[in-house]
Amino acid sequence: MPSDTDSLQERIAHLDRAVDDLSETVARQDREIALLTRRVALLLEREAARQDEGTGGVVMGDERPPHY
C-alpha cells in the first residue's frame, strides 16, 4: 500500500516532467517566433524597396499597364 509520501513523490515527478516539457515547448516557440519576426522584417524591407523603385504594381482585369 503506497504511503502519502510515495503518492506525493509520484505527483512531483509527473509535475517535474510536465514543467520540463512545457519549458522545451516555450523555448522552441521562442526560436520560431524570432525566426518568423526576422522573415517578416525582411519581407517588409523588400516590399518597401520595391515600392521605392516603382515596381510591383498589379494589373487588374483587362487594365493596360502604365507603359502603354
pLDDT of residue 48: 93
Pick from 64, 19, 65: nearest CA to 56: 65
Asked whether residue 62 carries a pLDDT value surpassing 90, the answer given is no
The mean predicted confidence, pLDDT, of the chain is 88
How far is it, in rounded angstroms, from Cα 4 to Cα 10?
Answer: 10
pLDDT recorded at residue 63: 67
What pTM does this model have? 0.62
Are 29 and 23 in contact by the 8 Å Cβ rule? The answer is no
Confidence of residue 56 (pLDDT cuts 50, 70, 90): low
Are residues 21 and 27 in contact, defined by beta-carbon separation less than 8 angstroms? no
